[in-house]
Amino acid sequence: MPRSTRKTMVARSSNQVLGLVLTILGLAPIIVVLLNAWTSGISLLNLSALYEFLWSNPFYLGFGIGFELFYLVIVSTVIIISGLALLARRMRQIEEVTVVSDDLAVTLECTVCKHRWEEHFSQTQLQAMGFPQNRTISRRRCQECRKFTRPKIIGL
């Protein structure tokens, strides 16, 4: 008798962690620039003075390489937007349907107390275990004697 099992897996991506890191890395230079402007005596509400401050003060990386703070603010804004876009992405829900056919009832026998019980295996599962040459399966706990054993396959 064929049976089907349905599993729902939620795929979490590492994009959320990357989005959080990018957002924090984007906010840090903007906060530093605004604090530098505020300590220089420029009011943050006076946009023309702030704009002039961003264009007049260079930021040096080293080795004589420098650029205006305005470009640093633009790059930081792009990094923040990309980080927030990664954070806004939802987790995808993937539904996986597995159809198992040729389900067989197999009679097993405990090697300790000779108790018999039935379990269901698919035909491909039995072939993977080496049946019919290998008539023992992986360890199971016997329901009668409660010992772990490698039961023998008695019949199908």
Q: Percent helix, strand, coil in the chain (nearest 5)?
A: 40, 30, 30
Q: Where are the domains of the chain?
A: 10-93, 102-155
Q: Which residues, in sequence order, are CB contacts of 58 under 8 Å at separation 6+?
A: 66, 67, 68, 69
pLDDT of residue 1: 46
Q: What is the pLDDT of residues 50-83, one digit of tens each?
A: 888 888 888 887 787 888 888 889 999 999 999 9
Q: What is the pLDDT of residues 80-119, one digit of tens each?
A: 999 998 888 765 556 566 655 567 888 889 988 999 988 8
Phi-psi group of 96: left, alpha or beta (phi > 0 → left; psi -120 to 50 → alpha; rest → beta): beta
The answer on pLDDT for 126 being more than 60 is yes
| Arithmetic mean of pLDDT over the chain | 81
